[in-house]
A = this chain, B = another copy of it.
Amino acid sequence: MTTLLRATWTRLLTNMRDPQIRRTVAYYMGGKLLGLGLLLSIMYWVIPTAVHAATGAATPTPEINAVNTVWTLVAAFLVFCMQVGFVMLEAGFARSRESVNILVEGIADTCICGILFWAWGFAFMFEPGNGFIGTQGFFLSGLPATYMGTGIPLLAFWVFQFAFADTASTITSGAMIGRCGFWGDILYSIGVTGFIYPIIGHWTWGPDGWLAMMNFKDFAGSTVVHSIGGAISLAGALALGPRLGRIFKRDGGGPPPAHDLILGAVGGLILWFGWYGFNPGSTLSALDTIGIGRVSFNTTLAACSAGLAALFYSYFRSKNKTWDLGLTVNGFLGGLVAITCPCYWVDPVGAFFIGIVAAFVVVLGLDLLEYLRIDDPIGAVPVHLFAGIWGTLSLGLFASGAYGAPTPTGADTSAVIKGLLYGGGVGQLGTQFIGSAVTVVATLAISLVLMYGLKYVGVLRVSKAGELEGLDLHEHGAVAYPEYALMGVVPSLTGHDDTTVAATPVMVED
């Protein structure tokens, strides 16, 4: 049995290096997974589910609506601020030659997201239709002034959700840094924020989503935002292949160093700051004071325990006993991603351990990608996909059984969630597994089709010459730092030849 497993694994890895086989496998798996996803969907669609009653204890007053709206909008602005963090993190952890591209991409996907989420994304995701997709409210027309009995104005709720959609879109770009052409960027961004994110997101967050109906819970989006974003990013990295000259650890190389560690790490801290909008704001209710306090606390504690765990784990396993900045940042980000799903329902001890495990998931996940020769320049897949899966499952383990759901007038504890470790059995854990698996599998399947489609159309990856020149010069006619003298050589083409093109610094005469 062990021998068989090992042989299979070896063959799998060998095959991973053959682009022909990779393409075939991707298509095959895409099809299979899509089928499986549909089957599961239908299965659970026909199973009757009880929608737990909404509590309307008190009718919200104008004052209550005002404080809830302020809370939601301020949170939305903080989530928007995560764009600042993302572009700094990605640009800093990338090479300087591709950093302008990251900025243009980040801004372009924000703008595309705004237009599409207005035109149809919001309708697909948050308006009623069926379990799979919303079918009304295109261009937000014909909708009531407040969203679904929350008392939050529709347009304020839209801004909050736009910032979330934008996050998913930006996460996607992470593993595709450095070799994706800009038309490819634009087209997959349209796919992400126009279709994949809102449609699959509807299953969990739509008012009649089929995963929601079966009691799948994802408070602020470990699955809906992070796993979806991370899975699309993985599909992109698979379709693109590694950057030219990227030699993996098992072949004697390693990832190129971050060109500006300070920029990247500051970006990480800004993401942490923005997360205080992401998680606590997802209550949509400031009247649930105890709830927003708990969510803020759990978010903090999981980030702290994950950051420390990553710092110490990477220290003890390092050859020269060094304290790794990049892994520490990705560690606390993994903790933040993981706590995003369960943050409303767990107690401090739960948050602490969810963070610890997330750090290991991220660090080992980075190793796995490196081993599989998948080039993810900033670790988007481990941080967002892997830690997102862990966080989604963790609810089934750590939900303390004391908390239900926020409402505009306070906490509703009529239908609490209890995890395995708190005596709640495996019910919620099973549901979380199904929700996470279905979402990840469906996202991977669809986005592999999207990414390979773009690849065969010829817009996904830039030419070799363009990539060697650097995406910034090639796609944007600019370099990030024209006045600084740079060192370093352009990478040679892996395995094909060993031409080393010397970097020619761009002389600036103004």
Contact = CB atoms under 8 A, between A and B. Distances in A.
A486 B484 contact: yes
Contacts of A491: 509-510
B159 A300 contact: yes
A449 interface: no
Nearest to A264: B103
Interface in A275-300: 276-277, 280, 286-287, 289-290, 292-294, 296-297, 300
Given A80-B273, A273-B77, A289-B153, A307 B111 contact: yes
> Chain A interface mostly helix, strand, loop or mixed?
helix
A262 B480 contact: yes
Given A114-B304, A324-B476, A69 B293 contact: yes
A264 to B, nearest CB: 9
Interface residues on A, range: 35 or more
Nearest to A86: B269
Contacts of A91: 262
A259 B483 contact: yes
B308 A115 contact: yes
Given A111-B332, A476-B323, A263 B261 contact: no
Interface string A324-343: 11101100100000000000
Given A70-B71, A483-B486, A84 B266 contact: yes
Interface stretch (A58-66, A392-400, A421-429): A58-66
Interface stretch (A35-43, A92-100, A201-209, A430-438): A92-100
A292 B69 contact: yes
A297 B510 contact: no
Contacts of A87: 265-266, 269
A108 B311 contact: yes
Interface in A176-207: 182
A475 B318 CA distance: 11
A118 B348 contact: yes
Please tell me how many copies of the chain the complex holds.
3
B477 A488 contact: no
A253 to B, nearest CB: 8
A266 B103 contact: yes
Contact of A66 (B62, B289, B482): B289
B304 A111 contact: yes
A477 B509 contact: no
Nearest to A247: B510
A74 interface: yes
A122 to B, nearest CB: 11
A47 interface: no
A307 B95 contact: no
Interface in A437-470: none
Interface of A: 61-71, 73-74, 76-78, 80-81, 83-84, 87-88, 91, 95-96, 99-100, 103-104, 106-108, 110-115, 118, 139-140, 145-146, 151-159, 162, 182, 245-246, 255-263, 265-266, 268-270, 272-273, 276-277, 280, 286-287, 289-290, 292-294, 296-297, 300-301, 303-305, 307-308, 311, 318, 320, 322-326, 328-329, 332, 348-349, 352, 409-410, 475-489, 491, 505-510
6 closest A-B pairs by beta carbon, nearest first, are A114-B304, A153-B293, A256-B510, A156-B293, A322-B477, A155-B297
